[in-house]
Structure 1
Amino acid sequence: MRAAALYGTVGSLILSALTTAPAGGATTAPPDGSAQARGVAVAARQAAARGIAFGRCAPVEKLPAAVECGTVSVPLDYARPHGRHIDLTVSRARATGRPAERQGSLIFNPGGPGGSGMAHPTLRDAPAWRGAARAYDFVGYAPRGVGRSAPISCQDPAEFTKAPTLSPRHPSEAFKRHKAAQARAYAQGCARRAGAALPYFTSLDNARDLDVLRAALGDARLNFVGASYGTYFGALYATLFPGHVRRVVFDSVVDPDPRQIWYRSNLAQAPAFENRWADWSRWVARHDAHYRLGRTPERVRAAYEWVHERLAREPAGGKVGPAQLQNAFLNVGYSDSYWASRAHVLAAYLRGDPKPLIAAASPDPATARADENENAVYTAVQCNDAQWPRDWRVWDRDNTLLARHAPFETWENAWMNLPCAFWPAHQRRPVDVGVSDHAPLPPTLLLAAERDAATPYPGALELQRRLPGAALVTELGAGTHGIGGGPNPCVNRHLETYLLTGRVPARRAYCAPRPEPRPVP
């Protein structure tokens, strides 16, 4: 399951003193001596010499005038730095403070894989980010394959967003064969449409691109906020380039253990989403006087399942079937900011008003191309990154067992990732993330919600174990995915202190949970 892209809009939710160095400083190759490492050094030197010609943003980006845009050129294949290059789109909002306050660029990645960070400079105006915005240029970018950064596609967007579709909790053998055939066709579509470029959409390449972007911005060392999937290739960056790190924030942490990447990571999400689904059901039951969906969590879930089954027979508005319902309600697992609105949608439908459900769950033709592109990048990166089971019987066994105890999202998650079982490109062995106690890695800051479903909490503990000097701030009893810059002032104090001073809290710091949502539509 995709770990959602975070920090997308202002309203949605993230050591040592600054040293000044010539543009492109610290571009020596990591000590592994690989052709790719040498290629990164070459590309970074070239990017530092060229810089980025920032100017007016393209209208398609829909960014305010205060944000400027440009491109940075990176090799498609870092083993051939003088071969084919692709352009990554970059956005920037200048620091708002005095020149003496400036600490360089702060690059954001919202996750995915497949999420675009082009809108992230607009966070500069959000109250939780204003302190950091005085010191840093806020920089966003679209990673390779995303948006206008050499975009890839695996399927016709209209076919990708076709609705309504089914989502059985316990699928029949015939349905499983149908989904396996779909997954095989999708993998073949990725190979056909991307061609020879397909193997070069990986997390390692994303980490290398980040170093070239750092050099192009003229920063000797990297300042970075990575959320969700951004924490994984941010951890790869720290592994490959520990001497290039200045300040790095990992928000909602992917478990970097190579044994988890990516098949087991996706399996681990199913019970975590089941727990968050239970959290939402309990909250709705406590507010039965408002929603009338049931006084117990069991009755709330039964109401949802009744709607799920009815939509299989009679899709709402002709477009919302069980899979569209599931996709809309999966958001309650990602963020409690959806709890009230989704409860309202369900209650309205059961009262005979399907309009809120149709509005919340219908595919939007206007975003079909972007949605398909995001999914194509997600699939390519995850399938290229690691070795997946090739035997359908393994998938069937594991997900059948999971669905007995965690039926809410198990099979939808499996279908999303199943193209990796039929992947036509070479699948790598994941890098063993981490640095030694003697590596020149400054303190880093990890942020995690204790009940996060998309990136379960043990992943934050694992990354902290692998990065000496990392400090972990935990939002207790909370499950929103992406907590930096959100409504918790305790989390935000730790975040701002780190970005402005480089100081981290004790190895473990804890914040009380944010207030629960109010029962309003």
Structure 2
Amino acid sequence: MYGEGPHLRDTRPKNRVLALGSAGALVTATLLAGAVSAPTAGAAERHGQDREARGAAIAAARAAKAGIDWHDCPADWGLEKPIQCGWVSVPVDYAKPYGKQIKLAVDRIGNTGTKGERQGALVYNPGGPGGSGMRFPRRVTTKSALWVNTAKAYDFVGFDPRGVGHSAPISCIDPQEFVKAPKADPVPDTEADKTAQRKLAREYADGCHERSGGMLPYMTTPNTARDLDVIRAALGEKKLNYLGVSYGTYLGAVYGTLFPGHVRRMIVDSVVNPSRQNIWYEANLEQDVAFEGRWKDWEDWVAANDASFHLGTTRTAVQDKWLQLRATAKKNPIGGVVGPAELISFFQSAPYYDSSWVPVATTFSKYFAGDTQALVDAAAPDMSDTAGNITSENSNAVYTAVECADAKWPTSWRKWDRDNTRLNKNYPFMTWANAWMNLPCATWPVKQQTPLHVKTHKGLPPVLIVQSTRDAATPYEGAVELHKSFKGSRLVTEKDAGSHGVTGLVNPCVNDRVDAYLLTGKLDTADVTCAPHATPKP
């Protein structure tokens, strides 16, 4: 999954290991496959886009007239005053703007500065697909130091994208069944193991269709971008100020392509490669390689801090401990509930986020010091957390629905098997877990789209792109590709760093440029390379 920072961690499913796709893609041949000739298919695609563009304009005009009826947020949403909540209606199908409507949940907190300082609303998406942005206004109520200056100028606005949370949520399986432990080892030993996983993937795809079939054809990134424009209109904003992280960068890239003249300021942080050939199959394969690299970075750090963790003084020694732990959990799930799948779900947060380096290493260390319960507490699914389980299941359903609908995926198991077997030899940490998570797309029960060609159109202002070079979830090449696609953009690179979600970290070289852009619109005259933020300390 492509998503930013600690506030998403509690929503991560524990039984299907997450992969960013947030934050992968199809090969060209697959994208072009089909019975319709290319020119005819292109004409049909353009006709459909024209209808949807007209529908989006109708929906936006309607929303601008209606506005948003702001009120105190429901008590069980966990959003304290003065944050306010409201709803924005959008069509399920933009080709039929007067057809079935759904309501999207939005929230806001007003700017903290004067009326004269206010520059409008800053709308946020944290990634996924499947992440909720509703906690964004809490950066103001919790007085997050990084956002004090921006909060003076902007209302902070979050929303649940279509299908997520409070916005017509979709589902693919009973939430309690979704988190039930233990799970099989994602790394297959035999053909029978692969057959079993393929069966689960087909059943999951079928479950999505049975439980949410009416929404599935419309769970696409372009539709979410159209929703974003309707939200802009409902807020009374002529132009959008937007911050997108992880998958939120792809949403921003699609929005900037569809609505270039509606963008005022846009920051994209930890970037999904928007190439049509990359969305989404190839992106997930590239992710497997990047995760392995960042996993090794973490192991090097653990080894360098052996005085604190006692797991070995070399990367090889730390890796041996990891393999020993996996083997133990595979033979007998630890505490009866933590098997290899649960281990990967827990340990993957270390290559995702530097903020997880210390807690994951500490739990790892405690296990080998004889404290098994610490690992069980950290990695086992919480079967009693009904609300959390619903959120996890919903988040995974949206992730699957959007990535499967956005692009045509390979349907040949031989291709999946060949590609992942090859990758697993050198990049074993996430490869098979990622494959099984995405395999429902091979048998997806509704039509899969051709990804939008992300590019610069007239009216698009300069976009600020922020990226670390060692990011596991969204490899650096994605930022380079979007930089090429969006002419006039500026790329701020955090060199030799790899935490996902750079704008949420303390690094003045990055933070000052984010503030300057949002507050004044100014960008450096050339791309910038920043030194890494501080390495975590035990």
| TM-score bin, normalised by smaller chain | over 0.9
Determine the structure 1 residue equivalent to 2:421.
400
> Which amino acid letter does the alignment assign opposite residue 402 of structure 2?
V
C-alpha deviation, 1:485, in angstroms? 3.0
C-alpha deviation, 1:168, in angstroms? 4.6
Alignment map for 1:482-501 (pairs within 5 Å): 482-501=501-520
Determine the structure 2 residue equivalent to 1:107.
123
Q: Give every structure 1 segment of 4 or more consecutive aligned residues whose post-TM-superposition deviation is greater than 2 Å.
A: 4-10, 30-33, 166-171
CA distance in 2 between counterparts of 1:243 and 1:455 reads 27
CA distance in 1 between counterparts of 2:325 and 2:171 reads 33
Contact 1:129 1:485 in 2 (8 A): no
> What RMSD in Å do the two structures reach over aligned CA positions?
1.5
Contact 1:6 1:228 in 2 (8 A): no
Contact 1:379 1:417 in 2 (8 A): yes
Give the direction of change, closer, same or farther, for the CA distance of 1:58–1:171 in structure 2 (3 Å limit). Answer: farther
Give the direction of change, closer, same or farther, for the CA distance of 1:31–1:471 in structure 2 (3 Å limit). Answer: farther
Report which stretch shifted further, 264-273 or 318-327.
Answer: 318-327
> Which amino acid letter does the alignment assign opposite residue 3 of structure 1?
Y
> Which amino acid letter does the alignment assign opposite residue 165 of structure 2?
G
Alignment map for 1:284-303 (pairs within 5 Å): 284-303=302-321
> Which amino acid letter does the alignment assign opposite residue 407 of structure 1?
P
Give the direction of change, closer, same or farther, for the CA distance of 1:335–1:295 in structure 2 (3 Å limit). Answer: same
The partner residue of 2:404 within 378, 383, 390 is: 383
The partner residue of 2:65 within 26, 49, 53 is: 49
CA distance in 1 between counterparts of 2:184 and 2:207 reads 22
Q: Is the counterpart of residue 478 in structure 1 residue 482 in structure 2?
A: no
The partner residue of 2:432 within 378, 395, 411 is: 411
CA distance in 2 between counterparts of 1:446 and 1:57 reads 33
The partner residue of 1:96 within 101, 112, 118 is: 112
Contact 2:330 2:339 in 1 (8 A): yes
Q: Is the counterpart of residue 8 in structure 1 residue 24 in structure 2?
A: no
Q: Is the counterpart of residue 442 in structure 1 residue 458 in structure 2?
A: no
Q: Is the counterpart of residue 372 in structure 1 residue 393 in structure 2?
A: yes
Determine the structure 2 residue equivalent to 1:461.
480
Contact 1:238 1:441 in 2 (8 A): yes
Name the SS of the counterpart of 1:34 in structure 2.
Answer: helix
CA distance in 1 between counterparts of 2:187 and 2:261 reads 48
Determine the structure 1 residue equivalent to 2:212.
194
> Which amino acid letter does the alignment assign opposite residue 501 of structure 2?
G
Contact 2:483 2:490 in 1 (8 A): yes
**Percent identity over paired residues:** 50
C-alpha deviation, 1:118, in angstroms? 0.6
Give the direction of change, closer, same or farther, for the CA distance of 1:6–1:81 in structure 2 (3 Å limit). Answer: farther
Alignment map for 1:281-320 (pairs within 5 Å): 281-320=299-338
CA distance in 1 between counterparts of 2:219 and 2:114 reads 39
Determine the structure 2 residue equivalent to 1:151.
169
The partner residue of 1:249 within 267, 272, 275 is: 267
Contact 2:5 2:504 in 1 (8 A): no
TM-score normalised by structure 1 residue count: 0.93
Determine the structure 1 residue equivalent to 2:236.
218
Contact 1:169 1:408 in 2 (8 A): no
CA distance in 2 between counterparts of 1:87 and 1:253 reads 28
Give the direction of change, closer, same or farther, for the CA distance of 1:197–1:170 in structure 2 (3 Å limit). Answer: closer
What are the ranges of 5 or more consecutive residues in structure 2 without an aligned counterpart? 10-45
Determine the structure 2 residue equivalent to 1:136.
154
Contact 1:243 1:441 in 2 (8 A): yes
- Per-residue CA deviation, residues 153-210 of structure 1 (Å, 9 max, x unaligned), is 0001111111111325353211100000000000000001112221011101010000
CA distance in 2 between counterparts of 1:363 and 1:448 reads 32
What are the ranges of 5 or more consecutive residues in structure 1 without an aligned counterpart? 11-29
- Per-residue CA deviation, residues 421-464 of structure 1 (Å, 9 max, x unaligned), is 0100000110110114xx11111100001100100000000000
Report which stretch shifted further, 317-326 or 241-250.
Answer: 317-326
> Which amino acid letter does the alignment assign opposite residue 240 of structure 1?
L
The partner residue of 2:257 within 234, 239, 254 is: 239
C-alpha deviation, 1:289, in angstroms? 1.5
CA distance in 1 between counterparts of 2:49 and 2:447 reads 22
Q: Is the counterpart of residue 258 in structure 1 residue 257 in structure 2?
A: no
> Which amino acid letter does the alignment assign opposite residue 184 of structure 1?
R
C-alpha deviation, 1:6, in angstroms? 3.8
CA distance in 2 between counterparts of 1:355 and 1:228 reads 33
Contact 1:54 1:70 in 2 (8 A): yes
Alignment map for 1:113-124 (pairs within 5 Å): 113-124=129-140
C-alpha deviation, 1:8, in angstroms? 3.2
- Per-residue CA deviation, residues 123-172 of structure 1 (Å, 9 max, x unaligned), is 12211101000000000000000001000000011111111113253532
> Which amino acid letter does the alignment assign opposite residue 385 of structure 1?
D
CA distance in 2 between counterparts of 1:433 and 1:364 reads 40
C-alpha deviation, 1:350, in angstroms? 1.1
